[in-house]
Structure 1
Amino acid sequence: MRRQSRSKVVELGAFLVLACASQGAMAQSSVTLYGILDVGLQYTTRADGQHSAINLQNYGNIPTIFGMRGSEDLGGGVSAIFELSQSFSMTNGMAGLPGEAFGWQSYAGLKGGLGKVTAGRQFSVLFDETVTFDPNYFAAYGGQAQLNPLSDIIVNNAIKYVSNNYGGFVFEGLVATGGVAGNFRSGRTLEIGMQYSHGPFSMSAALRQKNGAQTATVDTSGQTEEIGVIAAAYKIGAATLLAGVERTTGDLSPVKTVIWGGGRYDVSPDFQVRAAAYQTLSNDPQTGNPTLYVAGAVYSLSVRTQAYLNVGFSRNSAHSSQTVYEYGDAPLNGAHQFGVMAGITHRF
């Protein structure tokens, strides 16, 4: 009986040790569910080229997203990290990229003293180096659709490195392939970028080369698109001035240059106003030389909730079709367009 009792005590002790060890391991890791909900009421002129429209619109200030991210401490200053996220529409609940379970970002990687390495579907270096230098950030009334078409914002099959901060410098690199056997350049994307900040001044630069793809019927893998961008910002008190230029060349896209400039002003800790102009220059008749003027205001109702107002005017050349709402697909047929959108953003 004593042996059995002693055996049970030993087993109980071992169980408690394992349980404590398990709890200790769990304390070293974390998983966070998060989301951004954004919806607004929009009015646009010439929404179909001729008639005005009023509609409830998803995403005016920040894309609507639901996701999870996590990390686990592996020791020695190294952590395993991951993120899974999906964009969707507040107006109908549909996925932003139908058919993709985690169409926003889906990656895993390691983070440590030398920086961060991640693999999967993730933001491009081009996006990283332009979005914070856009006076309107990622607002739908802004220049990101001109600087980063949807196909360039997020990259599939990507391995990405982001360094730690070294004397104000942060470096990035990305390589992605299409996975076609015997043709490494099919669907390949190569990117490098950097940011520098010192006091009130900051700047960024990035280079991107993307190859075409090989399919069963067509092989454009020998054709490329090259994009180079440089941007800068300078903070003066409550104001931040921003400007940049991006040049696109190659075989896969029309040659064009986008020049932008504008600023942000913090009226108070809870209230910010923004304004910017984006000029596209191209000899391609379908791209033309449209100019987009945007102004906006964001007011924080609480730590998690913001109200916003966007106002924009798109001045199109004879054949250009730039919309005020950057991701709208309504044809304008060379007509100018005015738009205004009031909405709310909530984070959780």
Structure 2
Amino acid sequence: MKKSLVALAVLAASGAAMAQSSVTLYGVIDVFVGSSSTQNKGNLPVASLRQTVETSGSVNGSRWGMKGAEDLGGGLKAIFDLQSGFSVDTGASGQGGLLFGRQSIVGLQGGFGKVVVGRAILPFYDNEGMNDSMLNGSLSAQSNVMRTANGFNTFYDANPAAGYVLRGNNTFRYDTPNLAGFVGAVSYTLDEKAATSLSTTAGIRVISTSLVYANGPVSGVLAYQTEKPVTSPGTATDRNFTRLSGQYDFGTIIAKAGYGHAGKVDYVDGASTNEYQIGLDFKVTDAFLLTGGVSQSKDKNLLASGDVKRTAFALGYKYTMSKRTFLYGGYEAGVGKKNNATAATPDAKQNIFAMGVQHRF
């Protein structure tokens, strides 16, 4: 009898401990089919290209992940999130084949806010969608022309790394608690430069910050990020990105607007970019959303052959079928123009039409 009571007590204690921790398996499967046309895309003229494509992750990158929390008592929790990206159309791993390339973090959360370490999403990227119409996807106007937007497609820019850093390896990140609608975040990404090899490139040092306000119909974000590749001391300049954006929810219509600035573009001293975005989301019904936007971006002092202005517009829809599944589609068109364009440097043009589906689990 005593042994039975002891066994029951052990099982009860074990159950209580299990109840204080949790692990969740989750994921997003996003794929679209569409047609794209590109003419003279890039810094130098190239042949025009039209193709029909099936592509993964137009609205959100396809992924699977595991996240969890353990109650440590006194309002303190241990947390983790391991997130792996993949392509639905090919089955290949995303983010260069990294197992948990989208995110791999562990940390603590409590009344003080949240602290995590690992490969983390940076604050500048976290709230990009606040001013973006077209579901903040690859069909949006800003995604295709703005340097301060994820997915910038290098119209008249030969540097394939023209976009900002979205995620940082070897990163420390802190998020404040919500204070009357305000939440701040700051992260520091180590370059991990070995002291014995000062002339060898080891990585990139990134400092990223954001301040978000969301209270009632008004929300907005101010974000800043600076990036410095590490070679030898004093030989590499740093580039920086600034974004101010927000939205107002009128009920049926959500109005969005944003401004972005990139300094020392492509690490070129004196080169800069100013850009703007406006958009509207119109709730036709609870299930059907119409969305559209216009964006413009202008590079100065980057190319010796002249400044470049990129403009794009987009129009699309979202039809919600359930809490976890929706259909979407849209059209985006953009053009990049040099202020002294010649036959040798023609306009860069692009248009995309696509329809897709997203399911979450």
The verdict on how the C-alpha distance between 1:157 and 1:151 changes in structure 2, with shifts beyond 3 A counting, is: farther
- Give yes or no for the alignment of 1:274 onto 2:291: yes
Distance in 2 (alpha carbons) for counterparts of 1:59 and 1:179:
31
Distance in 2 (alpha carbons) for counterparts of 1:244 and 1:261:
7
The residue number in structure 2 matching 1:40 is 32
The residue number in structure 2 matching 1:192 is 209
Distance in 2 (alpha carbons) for counterparts of 1:67 and 1:239:
33
Query: Once the two structures are superposed, what CA deviation does each residue of 1:260-315 show, in whole Å capped at 9, x if it has no partner?
Result: 11111111111111111121111223882111211110001122111101210011
The residue number in structure 2 matching 1:106 is 104
On the 8 A contact 1:211/1:220 being kept in 2, the answer is: no
On the 8 A contact 2:293/2:313 being kept in 1, the answer is: yes
Q: Quote the RMSD (CA, aligned, Å).
A: 2.5
- Give yes or no for the alignment of 1:315 onto 2:335: yes
The residue number in structure 2 matching 1:176 is 189
On the 8 A contact 1:294/1:310 being kept in 2, the answer is: yes
Counterpart of 2:105, as a letter, is Y
Counterpart of 2:353, as a letter, is V
What's the secondary structure of 1:60's corresponding residue? coil
Distance in 1 (alpha carbons) for counterparts of 2:170 and 2:109:
19
What's the secondary structure of 1:289's corresponding residue? strand
TM, length-normalised to structure 2 = 0.83
On the 8 A contact 1:131/1:144 being kept in 2, the answer is: no
Alignment of 1:328-343 (within 5 A): 334-343=347-356
- Give yes or no for the alignment of 1:294 onto 2:314: yes
Query: Once the two structures are superposed, what CA deviation does each residue of 1:20-44 show, in whole Å capped at 9, x if it has no partner?
Result: 2111111111111111111111111
Alignment of 1:153-172 (within 5 A): 153-172=166-185
Distance in 1 (alpha carbons) for counterparts of 2:290 and 2:283:
7
Distance in 2 (alpha carbons) for counterparts of 1:246 and 1:177:
25
The residue number in structure 2 matching 1:225 is 239
Measure how far apart 1:171 and its partner are: 0.9
The verdict on how the C-alpha distance between 1:69 and 1:144 changes in structure 2, with shifts beyond 3 A counting, is: farther
On the 8 A contact 1:129/1:205 being kept in 2, the answer is: no
User: Which deviates further from its counterpart, 230-239 or 42-51?
Assistant: 42-51
What runs of 5+ residues in structure 2 fail to find an aligned partner?
A: 40-45, 151-162, 340-344
Largest Rg, 1 or 2: 1
Alignment of 1:130-149 (within 5 A): 130-142=128-140, 143-144=142-143, 146=146, 147-149=148-150
The residue number in structure 2 matching 1:116 is 114
Distance in 1 (alpha carbons) for counterparts of 2:221 and 2:279:
16
The verdict on how the C-alpha distance between 1:289 and 1:220 changes in structure 2, with shifts beyond 3 A counting, is: farther
- Give yes or no for the alignment of 1:15 onto 2:7: yes
Counterpart of 1:229, as a letter, is R
On the 8 A contact 2:181/2:214 being kept in 1, the answer is: yes
- The count of aligned residue pairs is 325
Distance in 2 (alpha carbons) for counterparts of 1:40 and 1:91:
9
Counterpart of 1:292, as a letter, is A
Counterpart selection for 1:207 from 208, 224, 235: 224
Distance in 1 (alpha carbons) for counterparts of 2:164 and 2:87:
18
The residue number in structure 1 matching 2:91 is 93
- Give yes or no for the alignment of 1:243 onto 2:257: yes
Distance in 2 (alpha carbons) for counterparts of 1:79 and 1:205:
28
On the 8 A contact 1:278/1:293 being kept in 2, the answer is: yes
The verdict on how the C-alpha distance between 1:49 and 1:301 changes in structure 2, with shifts beyond 3 A counting, is: farther
On the 8 A contact 1:241/1:263 being kept in 2, the answer is: yes
Counterpart of 1:27, as a letter, is A
User: Which deviates further from its counterpart, 150-159 or 102-111?
Assistant: 150-159
Counterpart of 2:178, as a letter, is N
TM, length-normalised to structure 1 = 0.86
The residue number in structure 2 matching 1:347 is 360
Counterpart selection for 1:25 from 17, 20, 26: 17
Distance in 2 (alpha carbons) for counterparts of 1:130 and 1:314:
20
Measure how far apart 1:186 and its partner are: 6.2
Distance in 1 (alpha carbons) for counterparts of 2:186 and 2:168:
13
Query: Once the two structures are superposed, what CA deviation does each residue of 1:162-186 show, in whole Å capped at 9, x if it has no partner?
Result: 1121111111111111111347x96
On the 8 A contact 2:22/2:68 being kept in 1, the answer is: yes
- Give yes or no for the alignment of 1:68 onto 2:88: no
On the 8 A contact 2:134/2:317 being kept in 1, the answer is: no
On the 8 A contact 2:95/2:101 being kept in 1, the answer is: yes
On the 8 A contact 1:212/1:221 being kept in 2, the answer is: no
Query: Once the two structures are superposed, what CA deviation does each residue of 1:227-276 show, in whole Å capped at 9, x if it has no partner?
Result: 11111211112111111111111362652122111111111111111111
The verdict on how the C-alpha distance between 1:302 and 1:189 changes in structure 2, with shifts beyond 3 A counting, is: same
What runs of 5+ residues in structure 1 fail to find an aligned partner?
A: 1-8, 320-331
Distance in 2 (alpha carbons) for counterparts of 1:186 and 1:87:
22
Distance in 2 (alpha carbons) for counterparts of 1:309 and 1:154:
27
User: Which deviates further from its counterpart, 152-161 or 220-229?
Assistant: 220-229
The residue number in structure 2 matching 1:3 is none
